[in-house]
């Protein structure tokens, strides 16, 4: 069994290494929060989570399995350990989730492959048919740079403004200082590519495939995750290429809602979630600076939440069987209500306008952001001896 000392090897918004025991601690901490859902049972019996290994999808898997006792099939795209090469953080997260599920008599399975492909959809349908039965809840939580569609066309996702170039504040992740970035406006092809990857097309393919396989239980629900965000990032986020994709996702919801209602008296929702530190959000220009400001303000108000707190709230207040989700005028579940509270956003705006490299440490909390970022990869967790060798070959039992 390969024992190794694992240290962070950060390159921009990714760590090339992940600490298995740190990832396990992260998962156990989230499970503690997930267990609070037991007081709000029953939950869905069978859950499919597409994008189950990190971020909001991992939180959805943990809340389902350890909160409600649901059986969960998860889909993700992670690197397994091989020889003396360690796995990705998402793999180690799931290794711990599988280990604990087995110890507690819960049923979690994972398909590690490209969720956009027909092959993985076919495998998922076979697994559901053979070992799970029809699904009550489908969580769609993919964040991906590219997608090859059913016709074999490969689309790339881009993070760019639309209509005009963008110049704005950001954080240089290498030096940890405030800097200015400039981005060209997206071409029509880049807009289309982003919509094809991060819009609703693949979500619709999944739900249609499950319906055609007769694997949607009576009253089956599906939810996909979206983001709106603040004024400070709107040129790059909500009014940019990724915002266009989210509009497509939100429009797809309507069609899926009607389809599910007609098919099994179910429904489809989009939940607009809060900004949290994940591998996906770390890659978005301006968002790291925004989170460094936002988290400090929300912590001071006692309203800060991470992915698991958000998903526990989503399940408890909106998605559990027997209750109707509360939606805004556009039909969206708004878990970003505390983030977008007017007094929070007024404070963000005020700080954003006057933040500079000189006052960044005082006005923002980049140290907290960095700690969250390291935690994603299993680093910076208290109680772990990072100089000690650890087992890197951890299977999904």
Residues that bind ligand NAD (CB under 6 A): 51-57, 75-78, 90, 114-116, 141-144, 225-227, 273, 275-276, 278-281
Q: How far is the CB of 174 from ligand NAD (least distance, A)?
A: 21
Give yes or no for a contact between 318 and 271, defined as CB atoms under 8 angstroms apart: yes
Q: How far is the CB of 90 from ligand NAD (least distance, A)?
A: 5
Select 40 or 79, whichever has its Cβ closest to ligand NAD: 79
What is d(CA 336, CA 307) in angstroms, rounded to the nearest whole number?
12
Q: How far is the CB of 114 from ligand NAD (least distance, A)?
A: 4
Select 55 or 81, whichever has its Cβ closest to ligand NAD: 55
Cα pseudo-dihedral 339, 345, 347, 350, rounded to 10: 140
- Given 56, 237, 315, 369, which residue is catalytic? 237
- Eight-class DSSP state of 338: T
Give yes or no for a contact between 219 and 263, defined as CB atoms under 8 angstroms apart: no
What is d(CA 293, CA 300) in angstroms, rounded to the nearest whole number?
11
What is d(CA 74, CA 48) in angstroms, rounded to the nearest whole number?
6
Select 15 or 281, whichever has its Cβ closest to ligand NAD: 281
Nearest CA-CA partner of 222 in 314, 126, 136: 136
What is d(CA 137, CA 208) in angstroms, rounded to the nearest whole number?
14
Give yes or no for a contact between 163 and 186, defined as CB atoms under 8 angstroms apart: no
Closest residue to ligand NAD using C-beta atoms: 55
Select 264 or 375, whichever has its Cβ closest to ligand NAD: 375
DSSP reduced 3-state for 101: helix
What is d(CA 18, CA 28) in angstroms, rounded to the nearest whole number?
16
Select 116 or 264, whichever has its Cβ closest to ligand NAD: 116
Report, in this order, helix, strand and coil percent for the chain, each rounded to 5: 45, 20, 40
Please work out, in degrees rounded to the nearest 5, the angle formed at the alpha carbon of residue 61 by the alpha carbons of 55 and 67.
120
Place of tokens 């769609």: 140
- Decide if 237 is catalytic: yes
User: Residues near 39 by Cβ (< 8 Å), separated by ≥ 6?
Assistant: none
Q: How far is the CB of 169 from ligand NAD (least distance, A)?
A: 18
Select 239 or 263, whichever has its Cβ closest to ligand NAD: 239
What is d(CA 87, CA 12) in angstroms, rounded to the nearest whole number?
19
Q: How far is the CB of 51 from ligand NAD (least distance, A)?
A: 3
Give yes or no for a contact between 342 and 97, defined as CB atoms under 8 angstroms apart: no
Select 264 or 370, whichever has its Cβ closest to ligand NAD: 370
Q: How far is the CB of 244 from ligand NAD (least distance, A)?
A: 13
Per DSSP, the chain holds a count of helices (H) and strands (E) of 12, 15
Q: How far is the CB of 283 from ligand NAD (least distance, A)?
A: 9
List alpha helices for 225-269, DSSP H.
241-264
Nearest CA-CA partner of 147 in 99, 83, 195: 195
- Report the catalytic residues: 237
């Amino acid at each position: 069994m390969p024992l190794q000392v694992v240290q962070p090897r950060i390159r921009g918004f990714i760590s090339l290494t992940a600490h298995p025991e740190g990832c396990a601690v992260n998962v156990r901490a989230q499970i503690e929060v997930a267990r609070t859902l037991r007081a709000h049972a029953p939950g869905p019996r069978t859950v499919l989570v597409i994008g189950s290994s990190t971020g909001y999808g991992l939180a959805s898997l943990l809340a389902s399995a350890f909160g409600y006792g649901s059986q969960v099939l998860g889909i993700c795209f992670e690197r397994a350990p091989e020889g003396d090469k360690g796995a990705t953080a998402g793999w180690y997260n799931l290794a711990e989730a599988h280990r604990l599920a087995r110890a507690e008599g819960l049923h979690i399975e994972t398909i590690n492959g490209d969720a956009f492909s027909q092959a993985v959809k076919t495998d998922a349908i076979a697994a559901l048919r053979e070992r799970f039965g029809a699904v009550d809840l489908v969580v769609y939580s993919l964040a991906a740079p590219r997608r090859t569609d059913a016709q074999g066309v490969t689309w790339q996702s881009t993070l760019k403004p639309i209509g005009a170039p963008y110049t704005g504040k950001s954080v240089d992740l290498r030096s940890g200082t405030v800097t200015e970035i400039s981005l060209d406006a997206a071409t029509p092809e880049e807009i289309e590519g982003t919509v094809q990857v991060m819009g609703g097309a693949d979500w619709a393919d999944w739900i249609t495939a499950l319906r055609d396989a007769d694997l949607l239980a009576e009253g089956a629900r599906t939810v996909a995750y979206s983001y709106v965000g603040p004024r400070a990032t709107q040129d790059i986020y909500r009014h940019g290429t990724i915002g266009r994709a989210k509009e497509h996702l939100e429009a797809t919801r309507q069609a899926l809602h009607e389809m599910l209602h007609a098919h099994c008296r179910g429904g489809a929702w989009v939940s607009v979630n809060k900004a949290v530190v994940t591998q996906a959000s770390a890659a978005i220009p301006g968002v790291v600076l925004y989170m460094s400001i936002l988290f400090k303000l929300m912590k001071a108000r006692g309203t800060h939440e991470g992915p698991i707190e958000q998903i526990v709230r989503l399940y408890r207040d909106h998605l559990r069987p027997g209750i109707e989700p509360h939606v805004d005028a556009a039909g969206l579940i708004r878990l970003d209500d505390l983030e977008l509270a007017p007094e929070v956003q007024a404070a963000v705006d005020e700080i954003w306008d006057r933040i500079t490299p000189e006052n960044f440490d005082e006005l923002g909390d980049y140290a907290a952001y960095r700690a969250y970022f390291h935690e994603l990869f299993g680093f910076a967790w208290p109680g772990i001896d990072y100089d000690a060798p650890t087992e890197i070959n951890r299977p999904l039992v």
